[in-house]
Structure 1
């Protein structure tokens, strides 16, 4: 039988407490922002061109998976006595059902029709339409499975615009799904960049599986080029800070496509990009479930 304990602690205690609990026999420890979905929520993940100094939340929630013989109270007392760690708040314990988690996870990801003949198909499914543009993609370490509204919006934009012979940059590529889609939709040259080496590995793998000729780079290794289409599915704050860098990557007459933006953040982003390029205003291309995609031609 498995149990999951929920603990509240501050950022100074997270790493040593996690290590201590794993040493004592916990199966896994996941870390969440205890202030998520509040005004105190704090982003700790960077994007290309943005360095984050503090990779810890002020208040963290640890989800600790243990066997039924794990003495959590005893382990926390030992952490206090042996390591001098502050005792966290024990929020509760829940029983974890003994399920086939692989099968359950796979059941959550089924073939998804994005637009027209563009589909995302996990490896454990056969494509509903073998003649369609099928992107083989499984959930993994990097963001981007095609199911989130921000990813779907970008995929729909790529599908709805003629990419034949065009160059495309996937900025903040994650799994590489947008780059792979761009190549399969006719783009002649496709590059992607991400600050996370694991994302680069995942994107390379997904491009190979899909026989899509796309190249992925860490920011420091990116070629100094401009592109016909630059697509960035990140978040509003990084997009605001990255405005000069993203605009500089778009060829004259090319398109900039941005997502990861809530509807209430749209006007602010439009103003920020307009302050750099008043002659090339962005506008809301489409919205989905409270998220929007901004796009515009850069003159």
Structure 2
């Protein structure tokens, strides 16, 4: 069935009240997004972070009565809006597969490809030596198209991972741990606080034939043994807080790669690791950075 979508931009102080109004008038769902390209990182405990300018998207069922009600609602909310509210009609879709429209086979580095399940690179782009990772992110973060994930994948492709063990902290879809296993690592540990991320990681590992070499752990698990490689694509604040734990998990001479870091955050994150990690030159892509090095 088709749907009606009401889009409205409001300032942060009005967001909660407008969400409540939309839900009281029959919105099936309301999503909040940044309307002004404003980073929102590391909220404090118990905080619900919002941008200063918030874009609300409310979804309604169609029908003559509903369309009239949504039109009246848009006019009533116009006084609180930063721009004229818009009503759009959406054709029905298989929503959980919409991501496939922009997720295509992509090369990272020299030989690593990330492809949606059921797709492969065309014959003119790949050769027999290339490594193919089939991926369905599910509800978790990570297809390789965000600059931070791309930086990590390219870094992994440049490492000699044969016979290595790896820790992927904040695994999301499992893309980094599974890529490492496909590139020759013997074992990987994937850690995340989100059960949906761990579920996506397990399913993707099975689809790539590496589930028997992958250990899934919750974020509060005590790390006992040291590994050869640590990757963590999360955010600057958690990376700083986790510095003692992540460096302790890495054997002397082991390799570390950190991302999810904005360019202006490189100095503070690097400082948290510099005492125990010999840092390499920072790699940048768009506004994001990858910090890497080896354990002293």
Class of the TM-score when normalised by the shorter of the 2 chains: 0.7 to 0.9
- Distance in 2 (CA, whole Å) between partners of 1:28 and 1:12 is 14
- Distance in 2 (CA, whole Å) between partners of 1:186 and 1:298 is 21
Deviation at 1:280, TM superposition (A): 2.7
- Distance in 2 (CA, whole Å) between partners of 1:110 and 1:42 is 28
- Note closer, same or farther for the CA distance 1:58–1:185 as it changes in structure 2 (3 Å cut): closer
- Local SS of the residue matching 1:181: helix
Match of 2:59 in 1: 65
Match of 1:95 in 2: 88
- Local SS of the residue matching 2:251: strand
- Distance in 2 (CA, whole Å) between partners of 1:254 and 1:150 is 21
Match of 1:83 in 2: none
- Distance in 2 (CA, whole Å) between partners of 1:124 and 1:100 is 20
Structure 2 gap segments, 5+ residues each = none
Deviates more, 1:164-173 or 1:260-269: 260-269
* 2:264 is the counterpart of 1:281: no
- Distance in 1 (CA, whole Å) between partners of 2:247 and 2:292 is 12
CA contact (8 A) 1:284 1:293 kept: no
- Which of residues 105, 110, 113 is equivalent to 1:116? 110
Structure 1 gap segments, 5+ residues each = 46-50, 81-86
- Distance in 1 (CA, whole Å) between partners of 2:103 and 2:23 is 32
Deviation at 1:100, TM superposition (A): 5.8
- Local SS of the residue matching 1:190: strand
Q: How many residues align?
A: 278
Match of 1:224 in 2: 224
After TM superposition, the runs of 4+ consecutive aligned structure 1 residues lying more than 6 A away are 101-104
1:150-161 equivalences in 2 (<5 Å): 150-161=148-159
- Which of residues 106, 122, 134 is equivalent to 1:136? 134
C-alpha root-mean-square deviation of aligned residues, in Å?
3.1
TM-score, normalising length from structure 1?
Answer: 0.79
Deviation at 1:246, TM superposition (A): 1.7
Match of 1:20 in 2: 24
Match of 1:48 in 2: none
- Note closer, same or farther for the CA distance 1:14–1:255 as it changes in structure 2 (3 Å cut): farther
- Distance in 2 (CA, whole Å) between partners of 1:6 and 1:216 is 39
